[in-house]
Structure 1
Amino acid sequence: MDEQRNRPLRRMLRGVDHGVFRQVATRSWPGAEPVLPRLSRAANHGALWFGLAAGMWALGGARSRRAAVRGAASLAVASLTVNTLAKGAVRRNRPVLESVPVIRHLPRQPVTSSFPSGHAASAAAFTAGAALESREWGTVLAPVAASVAFSRVYTGVHYPSDVLVGAGLGIGAALAVRGLVPSRSQLPPPARPRTDAPALPKGEGLRIVVNPSSGAQPHVVDPVRQLRTELPEAELILYDSDAGPLSQVLETEAAEAARLGGALGVFGGDGTVNAAVGPALAHGVPLVVLPGGTFNHFAADLGVDTLAEVCTAVTEGSAVRADVGRITALPGPDGRRGAAEPLYFLNTFSLGVYPDLVRLRERWSPRIGGPPATLFGVAHVLRTARPLRVEVNGRRRSLWLLFAGNGAYRSIGIAPVRRHDLADGLLDVRIAHGGRFARTRLLGAALSGGLRRSPFYAAARPERLMVSGLPQGADMAFDGEVVAAPGAFVLDKLPEALTVYRPV
C-alpha cells in the first residue's frame, strides 16, 4: 500500500530531476564551455583538491595547514563512503547524452552508478572540512566546489539529484571527521588564566627580534613589512649570527624592554621562542610570540595563528600566564656536574629515540622536505635504536622514550597533539619501556587503541621528576633543540611564571 502511495511522488521527483537536467543541457552558458569540462576532469580522483591542499600547506600558516589536513581527511571519508557504500546500494544509469552538446562531453564517460555524484561529494567534503578550520578558506573554496558540482550536470554525467545528494554526503563526512577530531573552534579557550600586561599602542616599548633562519615556512605577506605597518613604534632587530649568539641578543633586548616598560617580542619557530624565555624571566618582561617557524607549537596552543592577532593583543594589553618547564642539572656520580643555569622548555622534553629522530629530520629535511624526512627518520630510528637505561625517581628502567610535556596534552595514539591549558602546574610524563618485542607490541597497541593497557607504556602527571644514571653521550631534546644530557637532572615547573600576549 505504501509502495503504491509513494509511486506518484517518485514519478514527480524524477520528472523534476530530468526536467532540470534538460534545461541545463539545452541552455547556452556563456564562458562555461572552455572552463567547466576542464574543471570536471581536474577533479578526477580528487586531484584538484589534493593539489589545493598541498598549496594551502606550503603557502599558508598554521590555520591554513589545519584546514588543508581537515579538508583532505573529510574528502577521504566522503570518497570511501560514496564509492564503496552509496554507489553499490543504489544502481542508477547515467543520463542519456543526446540532449547535451557534443562539445561538452567528457573524453571518457564514467561507467559507475550515477547516484550519488562522487565529484560533488569530494568537493563539498573538502570545502566544508577546510571551512570548519578557516572561514576564509571556506569562502575561497566554495565557488570552486560549486563549479565542480555544477560541471557534472553541465557535462551530462549526472542528474541534479545525484549532485545534491553527493554534496550532502560530503558535508556529512566533514561533520563526521569533526566529531572524531574536534576543530579549533569547538575546543575550550586555551591558555588561562588571563592577566594584565602593558598596552603598547603602535608597539611603543616593544623590542622584536626577528630570526630569518627559523623554520622553512614561507609567508604570503612579508612579515617584517606587516609588523612595521601594524606596530610602527616597535623596534625590529633582524638577527644575524655575526652579531653573536641569539641568546645574547635576546638578553640585550629584554633588558632594554624592561627599561622602557615594554615587552620582548620574537618572530621565529619554537626554538627561537625557547631562547627568549630565560631573558624574559630574568628581566620580568612579557613575551610577544610571533609565529614564524615551521610548526609553531607553542603559538598554536596559545591560540595564536596570525601576526595580526598578536598585534591586536599587544595594542590592547591582552595577555595570559603560562607555566615554564625547567631542567635543572645535578651533580652526577660519574663526575659530570650540573649546569650553572637551568634550561627551560615551553612545549616538550624527551630522552631516548626522539632526540635521534630530531637530528635525522634536521639533516634530511633540506633535501627531501619535512614530512618525508620525519617518516624516514621514524623508520630509521625504529630499526637501529637501542633502549636507554636510566633511573627515574630512583627506579632503574630500560626505556625507548621518556616524554614530558609542559602541561597535559590531548593525544592521538601515542602522539601528543594539543594542550588546552598552559598553566595547569603539571608535567605530562609518558614512558615507553624496553623489553622483549617492545617496539612491535607498542606499535600494535598504539594502532589498536590499547596503548594505555600495554605493559610497555606508562603515563603520569606529576609536578616533578628526577632522572639520573644517564650514560655518557646521551642526548636530550626540548622544544625541538637537541643537546647533550647531564648525568642527572630534575624536571619541574615554574607555575604561571611567563606572561604572554594573546588576543581575547
Structure 2
Amino acid sequence: MVAGVLSAAGKQHRRAAVRGLLAVAGASATANGIGKPLFPRRRPPDDSVPFVRRLGKPPVSSSFPSGHAASAAAFATGVAIESPTAGLVVAPIAAAVAYSRVHIGVHWPSDVVVGAALGTALALGTRRWWAVRAEEPAELGPTVEVAALADGHGLLLLLNPGAGSGDDDAVDELLAELPGADVLELDAERDFTEQILTAIESSTPSALGVRGGDGTVLAVAKIAIRADLPLAVFPGGTLNHFSRDAGVTDIEDTLDAVAKGAAVQVDVAEVRVDGHTAEMFLNTSSLGGYPDAVRLREKWEPRFGKWPAAAAAMLRVLTQSEPLHLRIDGTPTAIWMLFVGNGRYSPSDKVPMSRPTLSAGELDVRYLRADVRLSRLRLVAAALAGTLGDSAVYVHRSVGELDVEVGGSPVALATDGEVPREGRHFRFRAHRKALQLYRG
C-alpha cells in the first residue's frame, strides 16, 4: 500500500517505491531462504509475553533472523536512498513492524536487530547496480550577456500544442507573463524549420523562446544557433531531458533570466551521415539495438522505474538483435549497440542516469561489444553484479569526435529519440559553447 501511494506521488517517489520493493525482494529471499536454514533458532516460548499479545498460530520456522524486520528495513532504506523526505515518513512504519515481532513474542530482540541490519545492507547494496539519479543540473558554460526582453518584447515564442499533455492553463499563464512576445503556434502537419524561419523573417526577433518537449526544443535550438539568437526554454513536453539537465525547469526563473538578459553557453553535438548535412542533437544519438531499448524503456519506465525498465529493455533487445559489424575510428569491431551522448553522462559504469556537465566539448561514447566470447551472458552477469565498468564487453570513453563506418547494408541512426535517416558512415562531433541559453 505504501509503495502504491509513493508511486502516485511523482517520478522521484515512484523510483523510491521501485527501489524499496526490489530491496524487499532481496531481503526477504536472503533472510528466509538463506539465513533461517543456515542459523536455526527456536522461537521465544509462549509464556514470554502476555496471552493477549500472542499470535493464534505462531510461526514454526527458525526465529533467526526476522524476515519481517529485514523487509521493513530494506523498504525504508530503499525509499530513503531515492527520497530522504519519503524515507523519514516510512521509517517509523518500518520501525513499528520490526518492534511488533518482539511485542507479540515471535522473535527475540537480536533476531529483529540482525534482520533490520541485513535489510538495510541489502538496500544500500542496490546502489552498486542501480545508480541514484543526481537531481542537480549539469555544469554549463560561462555566462554571457544577451538581449534583455522586458515583458517579452523582441521574443519570438514558439508553441507546440501537440507536446505533452497540452496544458492550456500553463500556456495561458506563460503568455500572460510575456505580453510583448510574438507568438507562433507550430503546425505539426508542416515542417517546423520552414515555419520558424518564415516567422523570423517577418518579425526579426532578438531571441527565440520555445514551449514543448525535447523534439520541439531541438528543432528551435538548431535555428537559434544558425541565426545566432539566444534561446529561452519553457519545458512542456512528455520528455524534457535537455531542460532538466540544463537546469531550466522552473519557468519563473527562465522568465526572470529573459527580463534580465542572463544566459549561459551550452554544448551541442552533431552527426554527419554519409557526408550529407550534419544533424544536431542535444541529448543522445545511437546505432544498433539502442533505439529499440530506449523505446521499450520509456514504455515500461512509468510502471517499473528507469533502471529496472532499462535493464529489462536491454535484455529483450539483446536476445532478439543481430551484431552490427563496423569500424570505430578505423578499428574493426562488432557491437550490439552504440550510445553517443552530448556532454558527459553519469555514472560511467552503469545505465546513464544524469549529465554532470554540458560544457567540456565532449561526446560520451559507450558501446557493447559482440565480438567477445559469450558477450551476452557476460554482459548480463556484469550488469547484475555491478561490475559493468570492468567488463570487456562494455566500452566507455569521452572524445571530441567519433568516426563510425558500418559494413554491409545501411543502418538507422536515432538522434534525440528520432530516426532521421539511414546510412553507412557516421561522423560525430561535439561543439563547445554553441548555444546561448537563458538561465537565471
TM over 0.5: yes
Aligned to 2:138: 190
Find the aligned partners of 2:427 and 2:87 in 1 and give their Cα distance: 47
1:102-131 CA distance string (max 9 Å, x none):
xx7667533344555433443333233323
Q: Which of 340, 344, 347 does residue 404 from structure 1 map onto?
A: 340
Question: Is 1:315 matched with 2:259?
Answer: no
Query: 1:413–1:446: 8 Å Cα contact kept in structure 2?
Result: no
The code of the aligned residue for 1:493 comes to: A
Question: Is 1:354 matched with 2:290?
Answer: yes
Equivalences for residues 88-167 of structure 1 within 5 A: 89=39, 91=41, 93-94=43-44, 96=46, 99-101=50-52, 109-114=58-63, 117-142=66-91, 144-146=93-95, 148-149=97-98, 151-152=100-101, 157-158=106-107, 166-167=115-116
The code of the aligned residue for 2:46 comes to: V
Find the aligned partners of 2:218 and 2:420 in 1 and give their Cα distance: 14
1:210-255 CA distance string (max 9 Å, x none):
55554xxx8xxx9654575688414898967556345556667888
Please state how far the C-alpha of 1:343 moved relative to its aligned partner: 1.2
Aligned to 1:328: 272
Please state how far the C-alpha of 1:324 moved relative to its aligned partner: 0.6
Query: 1:239–1:246: 8 Å Cα contact kept in structure 2?
Result: no
SS in 2 for 1:461: strand
Query: 2:339–2:366: 8 Å Cα contact kept in structure 1?
Result: yes
Query: 1:197–1:501: 8 Å Cα contact kept in structure 2?
Result: no
SS in 2 for 1:191: coil
Aligned to 1:40: none
Find the aligned partners of 2:381 and 2:158 in 1 and give their Cα distance: 45
Q: Which of 350, 353, 357 does residue 421 from structure 1 map onto?
A: 357
Please state how far the C-alpha of 1:427 moved relative to its aligned partner: 1.6
SS in 2 for 1:244: coil
SS in 2 for 1:132: helix
Aligned to 2:281: 345
The code of the aligned residue for 1:71 comes to: G
Equivalences for residues 28-427 of structure 1 within 5 A: 48=1, 50-52=3-5, 55-56=7-8, 60-61=10-11, 63-79=12-28, 82-83=31-32, 84-85=34-35, 89=39, 91=41, 93-94=43-44, 96=46, 99-101=50-52, 109-114=58-63, 117-142=66-91, 144-146=93-95, 148-149=97-98, 151-152=100-101, 157-158=106-107, 166-167=115-116, 170-178=119-127, 183-184=132-133, 190-193=138-141, 195-196=143-144, 207=157, 209-210=159-160, 212-214=162-164, 225=169, 232-234=176-178, 244-247=190-193, 259=205, 261=206, 264-268=209-213, 270-283=214-227, 284-288=229-233, 290=235, 292-293=237-238, 296-302=240-246, 307=249, 309-312=250-253, 314-315=255-256, 320-331=264-275, 338-339=276-277, 342-357=278-293, 378=314, 381-395=317-331, 397-411=333-347, 413=349, 415-427=351-363
The code of the aligned residue for 2:357 comes to: D
Q: Report the structure number with the largest CA radius of gyration.
A: 1
Please state how far the C-alpha of 1:369 moved relative to its aligned partner: 9.4
Please state how far the C-alpha of 1:345 moved relative to its aligned partner: 1.6
Stretches of structure 1 lacking an aligned partner (at least 5 in a row):
1-47, 332-337
The code of the aligned residue for 1:327 comes to: V
Give the TM-score normalised by the residue count of structure 1: 0.65
Find the aligned partners of 2:102 and 2:381 in 1 and give their Cα distance: 47
Name the CA shift for 1:175/1:361 in 2 (closer, same or farther; >3 Å).
closer
Find the aligned partners of 1:238 and 1:109 in 2 and give their Cα distance: 70
Query: 1:212–1:239: 8 Å Cα contact kept in structure 2?
Result: no
Task: From the two aligned structures, give the one with the greater helix fraction.
Answer: 1
Please state how far the C-alpha of 1:297 moved relative to its aligned partner: 3.9
Find the aligned partners of 2:145 and 2:36 in 1 and give their Cα distance: 56
Name the CA shift for 1:253/1:122 in 2 (closer, same or farther; >3 Å).
farther
Name the CA shift for 1:192/1:393 in 2 (closer, same or farther; >3 Å).
same
Which deviates the most, 229-238 or 390-399?
Answer: 229-238
SS in 1 for 2:59: coil
Name the CA shift for 1:257/1:477 in 2 (closer, same or farther; >3 Å).
farther
The code of the aligned residue for 2:50 comes to: S
SS in 2 for 1:429: strand
Aligned-residue RMSD, C-alpha: 4.8
SS in 1 for 2:242: helix
Aligned to 1:430: 366
Question: Is 1:463 matched with 2:408?
Answer: no
Which deviates the most, 109-118 or 318-327?
Answer: 109-118
Aligned-residue sequence identity (percent) comes to 35
Question: Is 1:488 matched with 2:425?
Answer: yes
Name the CA shift for 1:290/1:95 in 2 (closer, same or farther; >3 Å).
farther
Please state how far the C-alpha of 1:426 moved relative to its aligned partner: 1.5
